[in-house]
Structure 1
């Protein structure tokens, strides 16, 4: 039987890369994100590049608790046999000192990175409990391991993900559901463009002179974690570019 993976935030970045890597590995894919058109394009491309791959997509904003529950409840019966949940949806907004932070940025980060992860997990776990090989992958960050200047609320949200990952592993132990955290350092995706509210020049400067990680790099690590035998759980991985030592110490060339 093919395993079925549900990926949030699948329309770009790490989530999109996971979709392609897991399609190559033979998974059935449930892909959700806010951008419907991008999801449709992704489904079409995956099916063209990996014929025979089963893909089911739906539009979802993980910040909406009712919408999350409705979407999971409305899955066709053939798609309710979920084995893997990849909690990838997440973002950063702003890079301001805490005394100048925008409340709207704070709300967006906490609602997406923390509450959204909780909403999706709460809705999907009852389906995972029916799997004989269930696994939750939570995408954290170097920001969940340390705090850097002006990172304040984003770092706090990813520290929360770190704590929730540990708590999930405890609470789901008796269910046999594996729980793993993947914590990337610098990954060149739309992350910085979103953080800087569409300022592409400022976003490009973040990665200038650095051979940063790619979504593909992280997706391949996730595929490895998922491929371990059922008695093995990789609890927590911190993955950095060779050129990065900490959240803020980077060797630029």
Structure 2
């Protein structure tokens, strides 16, 4: 299990909920929060895997974690998830809207049902979870006062939400929307002592991102492990930052490129592999992932 920060657990007593918590970034984030002293509930549509993950992460007798079924596209399921974790662990302090899917392929070839599925999981579910958690947090703010920390929403977006990448049109659309939604909600809820943050990972070494067609030299600049994202999420709660990129250097590169003339931007995109990463990925690796997300 991830060790606690050097100065000791920073989030002892906090109750954290993580969607899409059975694997990948969600699993790593649960481990990181446990290491920081929090109690954790992970939810996932894969009922068997979420129970297995909770048992694995809960092997340490000091770890307090539960795994619960969760279909983020179903409001009733999301509400039941939050009710169940609060019944067992106590009032919710942090919700990490992490669940997401990233099918790849040209938009002209994308099935409409898959378009709906990407939007439902990556955007509508974030809005649903945020609404359900906000109602709980606002009730707490009314009782405790706005000078208290009355809850924290963390929405996992992507650096694909800052520009367009061929082969990821609908995914990019949802992540752009999540960033805008999170930014607006941050300003709306700040006066109530409720924090709202967006975390923007680059390419993460998980099944979701596997198979990218990029030059080997660019990988160290763009690619991180799920544990790197997890630690950034925990730091976001401790340090209360509204927007965090992982890795930080990639955000600087993208922002710098946006100031270049259009032809220069295209040149940089081609040289770095941005135009081919998911427009021409490894077909076998992507098909394996596509089969899983279609069967969910």
Instruction: Report TM bin, short chain.
Output: 0.7 to 0.9
2:45 and 2:112 map into 1 onto residues whose CA distance is 22
**Structure with higher helix content:** 2
Aligned to 2:243: 236
1:137 and 1:144 map into 2 onto residues whose CA distance is 15
Q: Give the TM-score, by structure 2 length.
A: 0.73
Segments of 4+ in structure 1 off by > 6 A? 241-244
Per-residue deviation, residues 216-236 of structure 1 (Å, max 9, x unmatched): 0011111112112xxxx3111
Per-residue deviation, residues 106-163 of structure 1 (Å, max 9, x unmatched): 1111000111111112122223332743211111001110012232111110011011
In the alignment, structure 1 residue 113 sits paired with structure 2 residue 130: no
In the alignment, structure 1 residue 127 sits paired with structure 2 residue 127: no
Aligned CA-pair RMSD: 2.5
Answer with 37-46 or 203-212: which moved more: 203-212
Alignment length (residue pairs): 236
2:245 and 2:229 map into 1 onto residues whose CA distance is 10
Q: Does the Cα contact within 8 Å between 1:243 and 1:250 map onto a contact in 2?
A: no
1:164 and 1:102 map into 2 onto residues whose CA distance is 26
Higher relative contact order (CA 8 A, sep 6+): 1
> In the alignment, which of 106, 110, 118 is matched to residue 101 of structure 1?
110
Aligned to 1:173: 190
1:71–1:44: structure 2 CA closer, same or farther, 3 Å change rule? closer
Aligned to 1:7: 18
Q: Give the TM-score, by structure 1 length.
A: 0.84
Any stretches of 5+ residues in structure 2 without a counterpart?
A: 1-11, 142-147, 255-267, 278-296
Q: Does the Cα contact within 8 Å between 2:19 and 2:96 map onto a contact in 1?
A: yes
Any stretches of 5+ residues in structure 1 without a counterpart?
A: 193-202
Aligned to 2:227: 216
Describe the SS at the equivalent of 2:17. strand
> In the alignment, which of 74, 78, 81 is matched to residue 68 of structure 1?
78
Which has the greater radius of gyration?
2
